Amino acid sequence: MNEKIYIYGINAISEVLNNKSDQLIEVLLDNNVSNNRILKLIDIIQKKSINLRRISTQEIEQITGTSKNQGIAATIKRPAILDSKSALNFIKTIQNPLILILDGLQDPRNVGACMRTANASGVDLIVFPRSRKITMTPIVSKVSSGASALIQIAEIPNLVRFLNELKKIGLWICGTSEIAETKHWELDYNLPLAIILGSEGKGMRSLTVKHCDYLVSIPMIGEVKSLNVSVVAGVVLYEVLRQRSS
């Protein structure tokens, strides 16, 4: 079942408009906003015969939950979120799959940034614990530049059980950890793979760590000893892309 969600911001809506315009139900435009970027979007929206409705500034702020919405929002049909069984079946259809697992992230901006990087670097599926409804928020779509509507998502009730099922179908599990001795570039990523990023501050849960086949770290030589989780996603995923593209 497809779920209707809101996205907002020029970049987010442009990405969906250019790549998945069939998912757009309606575009909402602030009556008080008009600039060249908005006018170009309106032209594309009208050419694609997508419903365009003008609303007040107050209405669009209520819908998006922020005044920083650039005067444009949209209702879209997001691809159905997969459960454990359908996620495993989906993965089986992919040659050399790359899965990103976000183990308990709390900040929607971090989630959105990870989604954006995942989409850009060729991740096939993003997995969340089912208890987190953070994937539903408009700010995630905004920060992800629409990637939350473009990439396949799964919500899993039991992550440890899911990791074991991934291993049964041939995937290797790689976790990121500040204390891992293996540097992130030292691992061979040319294999069916799931990469796990832990929550802000705490990292991966201990039970998740125990089910990893590999742990990798990103070396840091300055005084700061930790990186934002979305930065970690970018560093590791682009090393995967580099190796797989070689």
- Confirm whether pTM is higher than 0.95: no
Q: What's the CA gap between 123 and 207, in Å, rounded? A: 24
Predicted confidence band of residue 221 (pLDDT cuts 50, 70, 90): confident
Per-residue pLDDT at 35 = 92
Check whether 40 has a pLDDT greater than 60. yes
Per-residue pLDDT at 78 = 73
Per-residue pLDDT at 116 = 86
**The residue to which tokens 């934002």 are assigned:** 228
Check whether 209 has a pLDDT greater than 80. yes
Q: Provide, rounded to the nearest whole percent, the portion of the chain with pLDDT above 90.
A: 58
Lowest-confidence range among 65-69, 139-143, 202-206?
139-143
- Identify the structural domains of the chain with CATH numbers, from first to last: 3-78 (3.30.1330.30), 84-245 (3.40.1280.10)
Higher pLDDT: 147 or 136? It is 147
Check whether 202 has a pLDDT greater than 70. yes
What are the distances in angstroms from CA 70 to CA 10, 31, 73, 85, 183?
A: 7, 12, 8, 39, 41
Q: What's the CA gap between 202 and 229, in Å, rounded? A: 11
Check whether 20 has a pLDDT greater than 90. no
Per-residue pLDDT at 142 = 64
Q: What are the tokens at 150?
A: 């473009």
Check whether 26 has a pLDDT greater than 90. yes
Per-residue pLDDT at 145 = 57
Per-residue pLDDT at 70 = 92
Per-residue pLDDT at 212 = 96
Predicted confidence band of residue 18 (pLDDT cuts 50, 70, 90): confident
